[in-house]
Amino acid sequence: MGQPIVILDRQHHGKPGGRGDLGARADLDGDGFVEAHEFEANLTPLYIASARDYLEAQGVEVVVLKWGSYKARHAYAGAIAGAADGAPVAYIGCHLNAGGGRYAAVLHDPRSRGGRGLAVTLAGTLDEEFEELSKGKAVPAGQGTRAFSTYAGIYAGPGNLSGVCFEPCFMDTDEHRPLLTPGGLTRIGEVLGEGCLAWIKNRS
């Protein structure tokens, strides 16, 4: 069996024809303006880098994606998994949420047992580690939902590939503001890494 791999996808960013789509936004510093650093896809790189550092320190190979259509990214993830000699490969669509909730959501394709297992593990890790969150929820989201496009092509990939849409907190919820600081996002990345590692150990 090959080495486990975690694929961290900076979603919203880099889509062809995306017209600068950077996802959700919020006036995090309260100055009355939403500046470039207060957009979702400009914040997720902080937790992506932290998760990558954590996982690589544990000997897990990490691939970061940030360009191309979601379809192309999913196909690339499938190719990576196909070359992994059966080792578990996790695909994480990296996001931040909006809409005023207080929970963390990890969404998955309801057809995928691997995706559900990954979502349950990551949601549980977030739930245990952050008192700012009311709870961590693993949420099935199939065709017709907004989340589905973030992992729509993963199910067609090899059986060792599992994918989720990772929404660890809400940008427009006051209780979550500490999680959106550089320190908070670094901690989110570490917890994401911990959850991925736990999932890998359960699959190996």
Rounded Cα distance, 88 and 202, in Å: 10
Check residue 18 and give its pLDDT: 63
Rounded Cα distance, 186 and 48, in Å: 8
Q: Residue 204 pLDDT > 80, yes or no?
A: no
Rounded Cα distance, 188 and 118, in Å: 16
Rounded Cα distance, 175 and 139, in Å: 22
pTM of the model: 0.97
Rounded Cα distance, 189 and 129, in Å: 12
Domain count of the fold of the chain? 1
Range of the domain at 48: 5-203
Residue 39 CA: distances (Å) to CA of 45, 60, 98, 132, 178: 11, 29, 11, 21, 16
Reported as a single tens digit per residue, the pLDDT across 17-32 is: 766 789 999 999 889 9
Check residue 168 and give its pLDDT: 98
Rounded Cα distance, 184 and 17, in Å: 32
Check residue 177 and give its pLDDT: 95
Reported as a single tens digit per residue, the pLDDT across 72-100 is: 999 999 999 999 999 999 999 999 999 99
Structure-block tokens of residue 13: 């960013």
**CATH code, domain with 100:** 3.40.630.40
Other beta carbons within 10 Å of 104: 29
